[in-house]
Amino acid sequence: MIKLLISIKERDPAANSLLEIFLLYPGFHAVLLHRIANFIWNLKLKFFAKIISYFARIFTGIEIHPGAQIGENMFIDHGLGVVIGETSEIGNNVLIYHGVTLGGNTLNKGKRHPTIKNNVIIGAGAKILGPVIVGEGARVGANAVVTKNVPNKSTFMGVPAKELKENSNKIKKRFTAYGTPTDIDLEQQTQENKIILKSEKIEKKLKLLELEIKKIKHK
């Protein structure tokens, strides 16, 4: 518990003391109550685990299914509206902002929620859907909708989410609030990404055309 409190203070400049976090941070309370609910869930006492999860949601405004697997030092900043589904797996030192959904995309009982690796930042309002993997050290920008795997140490933004390639090395080396870099021209970067995607599509079409020409020559 102390380790989690210290890690939260290190990541939140608004936190004045460990006591303040302990008493007043709903993100801390939600994780603490989830630890209890998850322990009971693993004892196969699922009804009682869901009771604890239910009251935790009322108390904190954060909904974490008791079956979700959460690593060390996960910090839910602000917290209101966060939803973490049953088969979600979250690594160590993950930072999640308010309004985030780790949701399923199927009615099947198996793995249907995301896997979040270590040291990931997920921005406010982001939706990560299905059994996708968000790689270690990745950043998911505010309000992004992710339905495909996110590589390690990459930054994904937009709807649907696409990789932000500009200044990627710079982004990887520093903290990115809300998973969203604010020191670059996002509009310009979006246009550049569109040009890159179009050039990649043209390149693929040219390769297909070359193959067709070769086939015609061999006939």
Which residue type, as a one-letter code, is found at position 116? I
Alpha helix stretches (DSSP H) within 120-185:
168-172
State the catalytic residue, choosing from 34, 65, 98, 113.
98
d(CA 84, CA 82) in angstroms, rounded, equals 7
Which residue type, as a one-letter code, is found at position 218? H
d(CA 158, CA 175) in angstroms, rounded, equals 19
Q: What are the tokens at 124?
A: 């406010």
d(CA 30, CA 65) in angstroms, rounded, equals 11
Q: Does residue 65 carry a catalytic annotation?
A: no
- Residues taking part in catalysis: 98
